[in-house]
Chains A and B, each alone.
Chain A
Amino acid sequence: MKQQLEAIKKQAMDKLAQISDIRELEDLKVAYLGKKGELTRILKGMGALSAEERPIVGQMANDVRATLEENIANAKLRLIREERNQRLKSEVIDVTMPGKIRAIGRKHPLTLVLDELKDIFLGMGYEIAEGPEIELDYNNFEALNIPKNHPARDTQDTFYISENVVLRTHTSPVQIRHMQNNKPPIRIICPGRVYRSDAVDATHSPVFHQVEGLVVDKGVTMGDLNGTLQAFAKSIFGKDTRIRLRPHHFPFTEPSAEVDVSCWGCGGSGCRICKGEGWVEILGAGMVHPNVLRECGIDPDIYSGFAFGMGIERITMGKFGIDDMRLLFENDIRFLKQF
């Protein structure tokens, strides 16, 4: 019987060495170790052995079984690994082929810039205030220290609905509404759509967008205005941006300033964007005129404030290098896909 066991073991090991398929392996396992397998068959003959031989042969049979089981398990692992490697080889794809893009859309470049501005000022503690586009002449002009027939009305070509109703020429009336309904401290930005009667061309549109800001509190200084504008300019145009204030006149602020930022195209040395000046004008600002505060029931001897305003189209065009304002309102998908 010992020889028989040895023979079975050798035979099984030989077959095992040649096996290349996991199903063959299963068959082999059944053939040798199964209930009707070779080993079982031999062990059935144990009864014919002597009492001395029995444990020895029994031990031997168990050894053979253990050896075969171990080798079969190893072979299985080997086969699985081989099979997997085979599959991986057959699954090679060309990773240099273009990717498939999930069809999501894009926000309009004006929205992108507006969102950025909102984020900057929300972070500086400003709220976002809104108001109507069809506005009372009072809110758009008179409360802002621009009475009827004031020469400053010349510079704002206004669309009129009636004598007392206009399409707002700036978002400043939102500031008026806010001041009339809220007590200082006030810290708001007013984004929105505004109107001036300019014909459509590469740099003008009768409809455009602004963001204005207003801060009113005790002891607000012109230095605070400078600092705020500086922080804002660095946030949106980069940390090396410098600003320059030029005295100007707006009826609703005193002192007033036009504000330039160092050119984002050349950093100040002069280029096409800044027309060689090194500076690009982007906003108007100033200390809120005492008459405006009075008109809103705020005592200018106690409170002071600053205000600023900027055109979003101009900033958007500068930021993205867009050379024709009309592109912003045509909605050609080839344009919109670029943002």
Chain B
Amino acid sequence: MKAPIKWLSDFVKINVPIKEYTDAMTLSGSKVEGVEDLGKDIEIVVVGKIVAIESHPDADKLRICKVDIGSEVLQIVTGAPNVKEGDYIPLALVGAKLPGGEIKLSKLRGVESYGMMCSIDELNLTKDYLPDAPDHGVYVFSGTPELGADVKDVLNLDKVVEFEITSNRPDCLSIIGLARETAATLGETFKIPKVEVKEEAGGDINDLVSIEIENPELCYRYAARAVKDVKIEPSPAWMQRRLAAAGMRPINNIVDITNYVMLEYGQPMHAFDLEQVQGRRIVVRTPKDGETIRTLDGQDRDLDSDMLLICDENRPIGVAGVMGGENSEITDKTNTILLESATFKGSSVRITGKKMGLRSEASIRFEKGLDIENAIPALNRCAELIELLGAGKVVKGIADCNRMPYEKRIMKFQPERINSFLGSEIETAQMVKIFKSLEFEVDEKNMTLIPPSFRNDIVELADLCEEIARFYGYNNIKSSLLSGKESMQGRKTYKQSMEDVIRNTMVACGLYEAYTLSFASPKVFDTINLPKDHHLRNAVVISNPLGEDFSLMRTTTLPDMLKSLSINYNRNNPEAALFELSYVYLPIEGEVLADERGTLTIGMYGGTSNFYELKGAMEELLLAMGIKQYEFRPEKDEASFHPGRTAKLYVKGKNKEMVYAATLGEIHPEVAENYECPSRTYVAVADTNVLIEASTTEKQYSQLPKFPAITRDLAIVVKDELYVAQIIEVIKQKGGEYLEEVSIFDVYKGAQVPEGMKSVAFALSFRALDRTLKDEDVNVAMDRILKNLEKSFDAQRR
């Protein structure tokens, strides 16, 4: 809401510097967004009248003017082609300050000029503010302003304060509402000048129109006045400028007056051509079957059964609070108008406006719920302005249908409860003063309060506390720190602690943490080669997304990780190693909400990245999470991944079954290409719900060995495709009770190893807890192992 200071000053004195004023308003709850100073940097610019013009002897494009500024006549040289004798123009005198700089005595082609005639550009104004200004050239005043007067006064160049008005305060979407807040904030008196309507047209409104409300639950009050002999013309400059300063475009006197009253009183008005109102009846009702209306913008509108209409005897002539109908529009031929001042149910206006895609300054006010008691004063102000501007003659009386009369709310006034809620010690007398300044009725004898009719937001104790706190000062309430309250202990849940473990481990593995958005495009499934019938293609769909690319909730984090790696790769970062801890969103059949599953995603390329580096990070994580029983199984069929370089991780779950926990591997070259990632890109996607379920923080010390171990090496040649995990399994099975550890120390293919075979070397360590082992003990075990490896895999000892 833009409020020009001079307009506010019609109702309250503002006797403090602007900065002090705006700070005080902000701290009492009317947040100031900014101050626009239309007269900023304009000094010593006055009204002048061109009394003579002659051509310049040495320049075709320049003219020499004699300009009367009241006290003297000055010689001014101008290049502006649009001025003529008799024009009143803004003249910047020598020494004047303009946004473009200071004006000096100058000589133009040998002729002295004692100032400069100004265009609106030079005054830093726009055509919005001065619609009658020419596109080019000097501004010419439309009337006959006083010569020598300061143009800032003549043009009403005011400071305009822009307030942010919260949705609970529709009363402050008006100059009067803001003036009230100003008065309470500054401790000044608020006063509305007396409104007088002469009603010179004679007759009686009730002979001209009758009003019925069929749906009082949607229309609380409908009041109207009639105006005869309407003369449509531009409104006066002062009104145009106030409207422009407040951000509304002037149109004609009737429209401008209704807008002016809306801005001043917060009550939107609408004007109908009364001669087009059939049957001289206004009926406020919901539509009949099949009814439609063509609104002022020329659009034919279908109507829903719950939309509220303003109708005459036969047909709709307006959509309540949203837009008038074309059939009752004011035209040049209009003689008699009907001025509407009504209050509708806010949510109804809001829904209708939304459905029709129409929102206006009027509907924004209706939506928030208006003061029933404001309809008549606003209507009278409107009538007064019509008379003042000579726009027509007002008919006697008001037609008023008020089906939901305002009822005063009597509330308990409990100063001690207000203080104990705020934690303050405010005197009752000070509270009384605050409430009175806000126009509450205070009954100190019965300790009751009645909020004013325009404060629908005040319903209970907390609301009263806010009013007191606003004007006592939020920042004057003494700080305490839950003293006297039971002290509590804060700690993380098991899941939250485990997530810390995951992050810390990933960082220790040299990975950098990434954050990506949770949306997905329906196209991503193809880019990661996901089969057409894959369950991850079933995603939660956003009904009003920012665009197709953001229209799904992601079911996999793989595309986002690839995108992040791709950004790094395309910016020539030679290597990148990332992890992200986030969620995927899986729809659940028959449920309203989704299964939000914690997901750890690791991605890397370049540097030392390879499958084993990736797997190492996963193994480190399993260790850190205390997960001892797990298995990496080769995976050939995961379409996003390299068929020969991918594994799935299974961990032992609650029911002792092996549960799927992660997929890790090299990205399929096709997928890597789709994302412009390097061909050797490695990604792991893990389900942290499963990992956390399988994890434990319990640790058990096992005794350090007292007796030495015997180590043996075992090198065998096997078929290349044999997985070492299979060999180790046999070694462990057949190793006997003393086998303590098996590790691989070499895998070799090439010379001395036949084609299609590989040599794998293991280091085995044997130990007994109670004695030093003898070679014989170990020899038996080694023989058994070797025999079984020969039997199972055709293994040859090397």
Contacts and interface: CB of A to CB of B under 8 A. Distances in A.
Interface string A122-143: 1111111010111110000000
A332 B465 CA distance: 49
Contact of B543 (A160, A251, A304, A330): A160
B420 A219 contact: yes
Contact of A223 (B27, B465, B479, B583): B479
Contact of A134 (B29, B167, B540): B540
A127 B29 CA distance: 32
Interface string A90-108: 0000000000000111111
Given A151-B350, A227-B479, A134 B596 contact: yes
A304 B421 contact: yes
B589 to A, nearest CB: 15
Nearest to A336: B512
A332 B542 CA distance: 28
Interface residues of B, number: 88
B550 A228 contact: no
Interface in A148-196: 148-152, 154-155, 159-162, 164-165, 167, 185, 187, 193, 195
A221 B420 contact: yes
Nearest to B608: A103
Interface stretch (A38-46, A58-66, A69-77, A252-260): A252-260
Nearest to B417: A301
Contact of B466 (A104, A128, A218, A254): A254
A54 interface: no
B423 A221 contact: yes
B492 A246 contact: no
B469 A255 contact: yes
A188 to B, nearest CB: 9
A226 B519 contact: no
B4 to A, nearest CB: 23
Contacts of A328: 515
Given A103-B510, A128-B493, A185-B486, A206 B519 contact: yes
A222 B422 contact: yes
Contact of B496 (A128, A133, A245, A246): A128
A287 interface: yes
Contact of B167 (A104, A130, A154): A154
Contacts of A249: 166-169
Given A161-B542, A254-B463, A104 B510 contact: yes
A25 to B, nearest CB: 37
Contacts of A103: 510
Contact of B462 (A223, A248, A289): A289
Nearest to A126: B490
B480 A122 contact: no
Nearest to A159: B542
B192 interface: no
Contact of B579 (A105, A223, A231, A290): A105
Interface stretch (B500-508, B720-728, B783-791): B500-508
Chain A contact residues (Cβ within 8 angstroms of B): what range?
A: 35 or more
B482 interface: yes
B478 interface: yes
Contacts of B507: 104-107
B576 to A, nearest CB: 5
Given A133-B518, A246-B26, A165 B481 contact: no
A116 interface: no
A217 interface: yes
Contact of B481 (A121, A136, A231): A231
Given A165-B593, A206-B546, A221-B421, A123 B490 contact: yes
Contacts of B541: 161
A7 interface: no
A207 B518 contact: yes
Interface stretch (B44-52, B276-284, B564-572): B564-572
B351 A254 contact: no
Contact of B517 (A118, A122, A248, A329): A329
Contacts of B508: 104-105
B486 to A, nearest CB: 5
A247 interface: yes
B513 A161 contact: no
A195 B579 CA distance: 22
A199 interface: yes
Contacts, number: 246
Contacts of A187: 488, 490
B68 interface: no
A165 B490 contact: no
B307 to A, nearest CB: 14
A124 B490 contact: yes
B82 interface: no
Contact of A105 (B423, B461, B475, B510): B510
Given A151-B368, A155-B167, A332-B567, A108 B514 contact: yes
Contacts of A331: 512, 514-516, 564, 567-568, 578
A220 interface: yes
Nearest to A198: B546
A35 interface: no
Given A149-B350, A333-B568, A336-B512, A197 B544 contact: yes
A149 B351 contact: yes
Contacts of B503: 107, 111
A287 to B, nearest CB: 6
Contacts of A133: 518, 583, 585, 596
A235 interface: no
Interface in B465-486: 465-466, 469-470, 474-475, 477-486
Interface string B142-154: 0000000000000
B200 to A, nearest CB: 41
B535 to A, nearest CB: 18
Given A103-B510, A125-B488, A125-B489, A159 B350 contact: no
Given A217-B485, A223-B480, A249-B169, A337 B512 contact: yes
A220 B517 contact: no
A244 interface: yes
Contacts of A136: 592-593
Question: Which one of A127, A221, A330, A332 has the highest number of Cβ atoms from chain B below 10 Å of its Cβ?
Answer: A221
A151 B167 contact: yes
B592 A255 contact: no
B27 A247 contact: yes
A247 B573 CA distance: 48
A289 to B, nearest CB: 7
Interface string B19-43: 0000000111101000000000000
B482 A215 contact: yes
A27 B503 CA distance: 63
Contact of B592 (A130, A165, A254, A256): A165
B482 A228 contact: yes
A333 B492 contact: no
A155 B364 CA distance: 13
Contacts of A122: 490-492
Contacts of B506: 105
A333 B573 contact: yes
Given A128-B493, A219-B420, A249-B169, A107 B513 contact: yes
Contact of B421 (A118, A162, A287): A287
B99 interface: no
Given A162-B543, A165-B592, A248-B166, 11 more contacts: A107-B507, A108-B513, A127-B491, A160-B542, A162-B592, A185-B488, A222-B474, A223-B423, A226-B480, A247-B469, A329-B517
29 contacts: A103-B510, A105-B512, A105-B579, A125-B487, A132-B593, A132-B596, A133-B585, A136-B592, A148-B347, A151-B167, A160-B544, A165-B593, A167-B542, A185-B485, A195-B518, A217-B486, A220-B482, A221-B422, A226-B475, A227-B480, A227-B482, A246-B26, A247-B27, A254-B463, A254-B465, A258-B31, A287-B462, A328-B515, A333-B578
The 10 closest A-B pairs by CB, nearest first: A223-B423, A221-B423, A247-B29, A249-B166, A255-B466, A227-B479, A125-B488, A108-B513, A245-B474, A331-B514
